[in-house]
Structure 1
Amino acid sequence: MLALVLGCLLVPAAVAGDPPPPPPAHGPPPPAWEQLTAAQRELLIAPIRDRWNSEPERRQNMLDHARRWQELTPEQRRRARHGRNRWEHMNPEQRAQTRVLFKAMREMTPEQRSALKAQWRQMTPEQRREWVERQRGEE
């Protein structure tokens, strides 16, 4: 779970330039962008255009996110996708714990984060819930 917290720093949200998932092993790979039909390009772009138009207050954030995504290495992008996938499969309690854990870790030195990671791995689910509640109480 802690790896997810760190990976969440890099989690993209439907950013232009994010490569599509790999093609099925049994068929030919999809063509390059320049070889897509206008309808295929529209299919790929429409969700981003819809978000852009429906959330004007988030446009700058979307642009900033796209710029940061382009600066990531392929390994950082892979880790970000992995973190996003883990997040999507968490239940509400796990997400709440992750948010609190992430917030606490942002204030820590690398040594403190390492110590917390080790401590977290040793905790039972009940101990983790208690830790999260204590952190919420300190806010």
Structure 2
Amino acid sequence: MTIRTTNQADVIPLRPLPTAADPTPRGLPREPLWRDLVGEVLRRERRAQGRTLKDVSEASRISMAYLSEVERGRKEASSEVLAAAAQALGLSLADILALAGERLVSLTAARTRSRSRSLGTAGGHRAAGPAAPTGPVRPTGPAGPMGGVLLAA
């Protein structure tokens, strides 16, 4: 056996790339990853402030390359890194997590609606499932700086 042969290894992706025939199971949008959501929030907030990656990188003392990877959802940042990035943007860690949580709730609701449509029966009838709430919808958790998150079916 040569050294070239021993240095070869199979690479197994953590999230396999979708094929053209079936982008996701049952044609539904893929389950969002937390790192994607947090990165989305950081990038959106940075751009909303008109700031560059370099500016936020210097203010947070996070390397520009690493911050870029976090924003693109390629790296799972620690809470210390997220807190530093949040502070550089004039936000708290709770703000970043609340915004990411709100995005997760909206994506999950869209995913649930897509699943309901794909599971519906012919003739426009809904598949059997839990009934919609008839009373007022109340927050399910404590209200944060961005307001409470309402969950409804």
Tell me which structure has the larger Cα radius of gyration. Answer: 2
Query: TM-score w.r.t. structure 1 length?
Result: 0.27
* TM-score normalized by the length of structure 2: 0.25
**Whose RCO is larger (CA < 8 A, sep 6+)?**
1
Quick check: which one's helix share is greater? Answer: 1
